Structure 1
Amino acid sequence: MKLLRQLLFPFAIIYGWITRIRNFCFDTGILKSYSFDLPVIAVGNLSVGGTGKTPQIEYLIRLLQQDYRVATLSRGYKRESKGFVLADADANARILGDEPFQYYQKFKKIQVAVDANRKNGIEQLLLQKPKPQVILLDDAYQHRKVKAGFYVLLTSYGELYSEDRMLPTGNLREYASGAKRAHVVVVTKCPVGLSEQEQNSIRDKLKLTKEQALFFSTIAYQDSLCSEKTTLMVQDIIQEDKVLVAGIAKPEPFFAHLQTANSVQIRYPDHHHFTTKDILEIKKQSQNKILITTEKDFMRLKDSVLKEQLYYLPISSAFLNNEEAFRAKIKNYVATNVTKPA
């Protein structure tokens, strides 16, 4: 696979130039970007998948939902619906996509919408009553048709964008120079004990401007497993035989956190739609064993025949340091640009 990606290097050059020309057209106004009269925060990355966008969006929801009417707008990757959809009581993962449905299930005070056309999605949200005061754009860093007021760029500790190459040789959607659009950069999935010296080394590698702020975060695993009806403490079942199921981009940390010698790992592609055959195979392997999946996969499996034995492991984004500085930047941007109700 690695050799094949190297052989495709000429196509990476072509793709890189296409994205560079596209960005130039938006930067110079040849292609039009649309701004909106409310705070719009875009969370995204330069690479494909696995940087922790979902826990970062959830962090922002928790930060803002007590003071503002918050809406999330996602593409709704691999959903079966088309166009603009606003989540309601009939919503499920097939209609919204797994990540938006997860937001809708967890955060009852916010509006959750999906639309591949983010401009149209924002316009439709602003027609709602009441309309949102803040919109969080999920995975919209390359969606240049909308110009967000604040960009949060994520890059994984183990796969910094500065050390990657363009697709298909590497995983970059655009050249690393696209990072200049970000107001803050968050290095995600860091080891908890990341030293100040290594943080400074990463800062040098990313070559940020003096206006850009850099933060470091890690994935915090919760102490309990959740199901539709109950919870289990991780420490109480960690030594038991388990079946671990994941259909996410980079499942290795999830597996490592729960794995024991006799645990079974079942892997599927990112955003996998579980078929009846898949579910029956999982059921077969999980007889008399605890069945644990990721929260995103739980959203797609919780109404299946697995629901009585299925648990998920909640995660969240946790900053290693300077968390208050990050929160202050977000809050200051929103407070400065929000329209207060009459």
Structure 2
Amino acid sequence: MLANVNSARKILYPFSFVYGLITNIRNRAFDLGLLRSESFDFPVISVGNLSVGGTGKSPMIEYLIRLFQPSYQVAVLSRGYGRKTKGFLLASENSSAKELGDEPLQFYRKFKDVIVAVDEKRVNGLEQLQKLKPELNVVLLDDAFQHRYVKAGYNVLLTAYDKLYTDDLLLPAGDLRESRKGADRADVIIISKCPSDLDKKEQLEIVKKIRPKPNQNVFFSCIQYDSYVFGREGKIPTDELSSWNVLMVTGIADTEPMEEFLTSLQINFQQLKFSDHQFIGNRELEKIKKSFSLIDGEKKLILTTEKDYVRSFLHTTLPVFYLPIKTEILDNSEKFNDLIKNYVRKN
């Protein structure tokens, strides 16, 4: 039995068979050259996954930005999931999450020297970047593993530790966007969201389970939380949050890691969940205010993710703070960094 498949969804398996047939035909058409993949004469690194839901793509993009930013002019190109606009857009000081999407806006606000653009047609987006920003050295494609109209020079595939693609089924019975065979296109496979103390024995068991190709490297990563939360009113050390009453407000796919982190710090929190990438409108805001008013004590705050903060709380008067996260490669970070850097140097 597949450990990560909701038993109630298994009745949808016949539809998964049809979905798989369609995606396999599409991938085969690209493999045979019937559908064209466009290559570019500068380094293009794709970061993506096989499944829907959170695998840590945004923290990995930020990891790569930090890796390249000291030596290269970096750009991030995203489709801008959830934005209310269409076509190619460059991020600017006046950009909003509704124009760019929450993740691109987060990248732009966090890394001022990085060029951030959105375009649902990635080929056009890369062509526009090449024309408008000829000084570019490397482009990071966010969530583009299935966007095969671009032939990325290097593919980073993420799969979550607690939801490996080998334990999943195709949509709609499971969460896979394409069959597990799609992992063959990856240059690097990263098992994300691992426990920070994951031992070598379990790492080897996971590697055997996913059976990488001889040319593929497998790495393990964990989420590292910041030691401070940040808001309009300043910052608070996370180890002091145990003296606060917290309302945790999220609009992300996977809240469990953040819940576990707050629990580990013995923080007293209540939770209000919205759907992934949901914008907070007046109705949602009233719901937040009502929930917050019901929390006892004067020393209380609203805690959210950085992505949610950028999307919905930049201009709020509520005491909202966000908790930044980083990706940390376990054990072999130097090898991972060298592999990515060597690809960029050669190209």
| TM-score (ref. length: structure 2) | 0.94
For 2:81 and 2:174, the matched residues in 1 are separated by 22
Q: Secondary structure at the residue paired with 2:346? A: helix
- Partner residue in 2 for 1:44: 48
Q: Secondary structure at the residue paired with 1:238? A: helix
Q: Secondary structure at the residue paired with 1:204? A: helix
Shift of 1:284: 2.7
- Partner residue in 1 for 2:221: 217
> In the alignment, is residue 302 of structure 1 matched against residue 313 of structure 2?
yes
The amino acid of 1:293's aligned partner reads T
For 2:133 and 2:161, the matched residues in 1 are separated by 41
For 1:261 and 1:294, the matched residues in 2 are separated by 16
The amino acid of 2:226's aligned partner reads Q
Q: Secondary structure at the residue paired with 1:8? A: helix
Shift of 1:229: 4.5
- Partner residue in 2 for 1:311: 321
The match for 1:263 among 258, 269, 289 is: 269
Shift of 1:301: 2.3
Shift of 1:213: 0.3
Q: Secondary structure at the residue paired with 1:67? A: coil
- Partner residue in 1 for 2:110: 106
Shift of 1:240: 2.1
> In the alignment, is residue 251 of structure 1 matched against residue 279 of structure 2?
no
Shift of 1:232: 0.4
The amino acid of 1:316's aligned partner reads K
Q: Secondary structure at the residue paired with 1:168? A: coil
Shift of 1:210: 1.2
For 2:213 and 2:141, the matched residues in 1 are separated by 24
CA RMSD of aligned residues (A): 1.4
- Could you give the per-residue CA deviations for residues 13-64 of structure 1, whole angstroms, max 9, x where no partner exists? 0101111111110011011100000000000000002100000000000000
> In the alignment, is residue 329 of structure 1 matched against residue 339 of structure 2?
yes
Superposed, 1:77-92 pairs within 5 Å as 77-92=81-96
- Partner residue in 2 for 1:163: 167
For 2:319 and 2:225, the matched residues in 1 are separated by 20
The match for 1:233 among 217, 229, 237 is: 237
The match for 1:97 among 98, 101, 104 is: 101
- Could you give the per-residue CA deviations for residues 129-183 of structure 1, whole angstroms, max 9, x where no partner exists? 4442110000000000000000000000001011111000011011111101000
> In the alignment, is residue 20 of structure 1 matched against residue 30 of structure 2?
no
Q: Secondary structure at the residue paired with 2:131? A: coil
Moved more, 218-227 or 259-268: 259-268
Contact kept in structure 2, 1:242 and 1:263, CA below 8 Å? yes
The amino acid of 2:283's aligned partner reads K
Superposed, 1:145-156 pairs within 5 Å as 145-156=149-160
Q: Kindly tell me the number of residue pairs found equivalent between the two proteins.
A: 336
Shift of 1:104: 0.3
Contact kept in structure 1, 2:233 and 2:319, CA below 8 Å? no
Moved more, 250-259 or 144-153: 250-259
- Partner residue in 1 for 2:302: 291
- Could you give the per-residue CA deviations for residues 60-84 of structure 1, whole angstroms, max 9, x where no partner exists? 0000011111000001001011100
Shift of 1:128: 1.1
Q: Secondary structure at the residue paired with 2:276? A: coil
Contact kept in structure 2, 1:125 and 1:131, CA below 8 Å? no
Shift of 1:120: 0.4
Change (3 A) 1:262 1:129: closer
- Partner residue in 2 for 1:340: none
The match for 1:73 among 77, 91, 94 is: 77
Shift of 1:262: 4.5
The amino acid of 1:87's aligned partner reads A
For 1:179 and 1:272, the matched residues in 2 are separated by 29
The amino acid of 1:320's aligned partner reads L
Contact kept in structure 2, 1:188 and 1:218, CA below 8 Å? yes
Q: Secondary structure at the residue paired with 2:132? A: coil
Shift of 1:227: 1.1
For 1:174 and 1:226, the matched residues in 2 are separated by 38
- Partner residue in 1 for 2:136: 132
Contact kept in structure 1, 2:78 and 2:118, CA below 8 Å? yes
Q: Sequence identity of aligned pairs in percent?
A: 48
| TM-score (ref. length: structure 1) | 0.95
Q: Secondary structure at the residue paired with 1:105? A: helix
Superposed, 1:187-202 pairs within 5 Å as 187-202=191-206
Moved more, 287-296 or 326-335: 287-296
The amino acid of 1:271's aligned partner reads H
Shift of 1:261: 7.3
Change (3 A) 1:233 1:166: same
Structure 1 segments unaligned to the other structure (5+ residues): 338-342
For 2:272 and 2:231, the matched residues in 1 are separated by 19
